[in-house]
Amino acid sequence: MSHYLDISHISIEFPTKNGPFKALDKVDLKIARGEFISLIGHSGCGKSTVLNIVAGLYQATEGAVVLESKEVNEPGPDRAVVFQNHSLFPWLTVYENVELAVKQVFKGKKNKAEIRDWVAHNLELVHMSHALHKYPAEISGGMKQRVGIARALAMEPKVLLMDEPFGALDALTRAHLQDALMEIQAELNNTVILITHDVDEAVLLSDRIVMMTNGPAASVGDILSIDLPRPRDRLALADSPDYNHYRAEVLTFLHQKQAKPDVPIVAKSATATPADAADTDQKLDKVVGA
């Protein structure tokens, strides 16, 4: 059976001054179109390395990544990446940051008016229409992440790769963006690989959670299917036995099966609400004068 995204037995060795370092050993993962996958595992196990190989930024030493029957060997707009630290161009406005990516991807395929509408539409999806002409320095961290997500979505990638996109945000802003991402996902049905250290985030957002073993030579330790109905509501889930069961499964994997006592894994309350988050965003707006 062919899969939309096939990460097939990938291994990678990095050259170091002490000789080759094998970071991944035969990581194997088949992903269906529209699936939301989270990668979780202790710090340094190799999550970003997997993502970088899928992005085409690193070459696997063994194995292959095949997307829609085509082998991935270099970066391309069919795989958009959102990093933890927003990577917006500071000299461009919010609108121009997204427009730049759209012009690169849709050169010759969309006319001026279509480009304008498409940029505006994607910024609307992440609720940033009110700040089109602001510069990155004039908006909060959460807003910058939203613009980064809009820019990635606007490229219409086959796969959205997210490397701890909410890791640097406060809990309420993070909750707000998680909800926004779930709404967008419901509308667009993207194929997503998300790296997170946050167990609640993984359970809330994912169709499957891929739990990686500790490195070196890390691989897939276990895969947990999250069969919670959508749309998912964080407040309702806080009292759900199924939700808490999934959460416990991931925590057990991390703290018992792959114990690494000196590394923090975030397992916070799932009860931060979008309203709280909006409140925080407003406070942040005041701080930055948005």
Ligand X SMILES: Nc1ncnc2c1ncn2[C@@H]1O[C@H](COP(=O)(O)OP(=O)(O)OP(=O)(O)O)[C@@H](O)[C@H]1O
CA 205/CA 290 separation, integer angstroms: 29
Q: Does 14 bind ligand X (CB under 6 A)?
A: yes
Neighbours of 257 (CB within 10 A): 12
CA 285/CA 42 separation, integer angstroms: 34
Q: Does 18 bind ligand X (CB under 6 A)?
A: no
- Which of residues 21, 71, 114, 235 is near ligand X by CB under 6 A? 21
Number of residues that bind ligand X (CB under 6 A): 13
Q: Does 119 bind ligand X (CB under 6 A)?
A: no
For the bound state, the minimum distance from the C-beta of residue 39 to ligand X, rounded and expressed in Å, comes to 8
Q: Does 23 bind ligand X (CB under 6 A)?
A: yes
For the bound state, the minimum distance from the C-beta of residue 197 to ligand X, rounded and expressed in Å, comes to 6
CA 230/CA 237 separation, integer angstroms: 11
- For ligand X, give the closer residue by CB, 45 or 101: 45
Point out which span in 43-51, 126-134, 222-230, 269-277 binds ligand X (CB under 6 A): 43-51
Tokens of 83: 């990093």
Point out which span in 38-46, 95-103, 224-232, 252-260 binds ligand X (CB under 6 A): 38-46
- Which of residues 31, 38, 48, 254 is near ligand X by CB under 6 A? 48
Residues 202-221 that bind ligand X (CB under 6 A): 215
CA 81/CA 157 separation, integer angstroms: 9
| CA atoms in the 13 A half-sphere facing the CB of 219 | 11
Point out which span in 47-55, 133-141, 149-157, 240-248 binds ligand X (CB under 6 A): 47-55
Burial of 263 (0-12, 13-18, 19+ CB in 10 A): middle
Burial of 112 (0-12, 13-18, 19+ CB in 10 A): exposed
> What is the three-class DSSP state of 27?
strand
- Which of residues 47, 86, 146, 247 is near ligand X by CB under 6 A? 47
- Which of residues 2, 16, 18, 69 is near ligand X by CB under 6 A? 16
Point out which span in 44-52, 117-125, 199-207, 267-275 binds ligand X (CB under 6 A): 44-52
Spatial CA neighbour of 9 closest among 51, 58, 65, 56: 65
Contacting positions for ligand X (CB under 6 A): 14, 16, 21, 23, 41, 43-49, 215
